[in-house]
Structure 1
Amino acid sequence: MPEQRDRWAELTSGQAGEDYARRFAQLADAGHDVHGEAAFCTTLLEPGARVLDAGCGTGRIAIRLTELGHHCTGVDIDSSMLAVARREAPTQEWYLADLARLDSLGLEPEFDLVLAAGNVIPLLAPGTESTVVRQLASALRPGGLLVTGMGLDAAHLPLPEPPLTLAGFDHWCTQAGLALRQRYATWHGDPYEDGCGYAVSVHSRPAA
């Protein structure tokens, strides 16, 4: 049976890199804050932390976190997105890989924070979500944090309907040995309430 493609590839055919980068450049030129995710993560990190940007896309967040003094590694399955990241920051670590097979990269584990922003989890290949969460959790050091951002309704997703629920995602995290620490409605820290269309979640791996 052919391997099922991720939802992102179904939407973009793996050709979205330049358009995606152009859209955020236009937002920045118009005065919009395009670094909310990086600013949020920085509040959770000690200086010089190790960060894995899982589903890093064009590298926007990882590059900003590096500018802020952290050590960032980016992984993405879309070569067109990674081509932009490698052009913008050629000395950073960028890996082309399926997050469901993250362990095949042989990365040094014990990251302080693993980030999956930009609807990474909802746009995975159907049926791989729990495997990906387990892989991301395994990359964390004891006490490390998994930070995710995802839409929960059609208004916050490039999909006609959400492919998962927040309760389902929390269940995968629990199965992977993670505990919910904080949840917000935006990257600016607005309080999360039931029914919000977007969730920023911070799960932690138990300390040794």
Structure 2
Amino acid sequence: MAENPWLAVTGGTAGPGYAARFADLEAAGEDLHGEARRVHALLDGRPGTVLDAGCGTGRVAIHLARLGHHVVGADLDASMLGEARAAAPELDWRLVDLADPGALDLDRPVDAVVAAGNLWPLLTPGTHATVVAVLAGQLRPGGLLVAGFGLDVDHVPFTLPDDVPFPSLADYDAACAAAGLALRERTADWAGREPYAGGGYAVSVHVLTDRRVEAP
């Protein structure tokens, strides 16, 4: 299997620096919780179960827990998860490769999966459809997959390896359709106010319409 682009770029050591950067932004008064608020609103403001796929240092998962949700955070990078565990040791953090169909082993289906940190373009090449199927397989019928990601170099704050192309929004929609997911809405921002009109960043909300999902 090809090397994961995130680990190739960061060497799997980005956790402390990443956490420090967001701590500085929060100290400066930046709003860091738009993604969590969007998921909370999509769940009608009621406590639910959420899988944070590619959770990184736990920023989104931790705020979702503060909003009353039962959260599982999953990531491929041990250094990022180390920061998440240090910040919220009471939460359920999983070191997993989402391309492995049996890796998550959740004890119950979730109401929503959120992928807020450019998960889609940073997946290991060749695993995109498998990962979407794995995520769909964690959802209850009618559950939501909420993903926001950049579609070009101007909207992903990392330089991908030269041999790793940007996967397209059409590729994402095709993978979702194959996994039994139907597009419910798409915006250009996490606030959900700006309709997507073909720019370099999209937030997509898909709903599981077919529970019979298996990873390819």
Which TM bucket (shorter chain)? over 0.9
1:1-208 counterparts in 2 under 5 A? 3-46=1-44, 47-157=46-156, 158-159=158-159, 163-189=166-192, 190-194=194-198, 196-206=199-209
Answer whether contact 1:154 1:162 (CA < 8 A) is retained: no
Large movers: runs of 4+ above 4 Å: none
Structure 2 Cα separation of the partners of residues 97 and 26 of structure 1: 28
Unaligned runs of 5+ in 1: none
Answer whether contact 2:61 2:73 (CA < 8 A) is retained: yes
Answer whether contact 1:151 1:162 (CA < 8 A) is retained: no
2:196 alignment partner AA: Y
**Could you say which residue in structure 1 is the equivalent of 2:214?**
none
Write the deviation string for residues 85-128 of structure 1: whole angstroms up to 9, x where unpaired.
00011111001000011523321241000011110111010000
- With structure 2 as the length reference, what TM-score do the two structures score? 0.91
Q: Which moved more, 1:161-170 or 1:15-24?
A: 161-170
Write the deviation string for residues 45-65 of structure 1: whole angstroms up to 9, x where unpaired.
142200000110001100000
Higher helix share: 1
- With structure 1 as the length reference, what TM-score do the two structures score? 0.94
2:171 alignment partner AA: G
Structure 2 Cα separation of the partners of residues 126 and 201 of structure 1: 21
Unaligned runs of 5+ in 2: 212-216
Structure 1 Cα separation of the partners of residues 52 and 146 of structure 2: 10
Structure 2 Cα separation of the partners of residues 113 and 103 of structure 1: 19
Structure 2 Cα separation of the partners of residues 138 and 132 of structure 1: 10
Aligned positions, number? 205
Residue 32 (structure 1) shift: 1.0
**What is the alpha-carbon root mean square deviation over aligned residues?**
1.4
